Amino acid sequence: MILSKLIFSFLIILSISSLFKLKYSEALRINEKLILILTLILSLIIIIEPSLLKIANSIFKLRGRAIIIYLYIIFSSWSIFRNHLRINQLNQKINKLVSEISILKS
């Protein structure tokens, strides 16, 4: 149990440090970066002190594991939607480039 806490804590800290190295771009906006960092910090706190889930249980009237699953569903849905927007944006850029190349070659 302690080993798994250490491993997950190390992985989360590694993820947070890699997020600080990313620069602002269309791939990752500043508000998304802050949301990810806060989520990772919250998950690190829950890993270190799992009794905090009991407090969330009393507030939301849900089991602690259910809260984690619901949050996972919310963040996954947001991630899928965001990726869909990015793919559409890239598709538009590719179409524009292809049309410009075809105009130049003709």
Compute the mean pLDDT over every residue in the chain, rounded to the nearest whole number.
76
Domain range list for the chain: 1-50, 64-106
Four-point Cα dihedral 44, 15, 29, 32, nearest 10: -20
Q: What is the pLDDT of residues 20-58, one digit of tens each?
A: 665 655 555 666 777 777 877 787 787 778 787 777 777
Q: Spell out the alpha helix ranges (H) of 2-63.
A: 2-21, 30-48, 52-60
Residue 81 CA to residue 47 CA, distance in Å, equals 28
| Model pTM score | 0.51
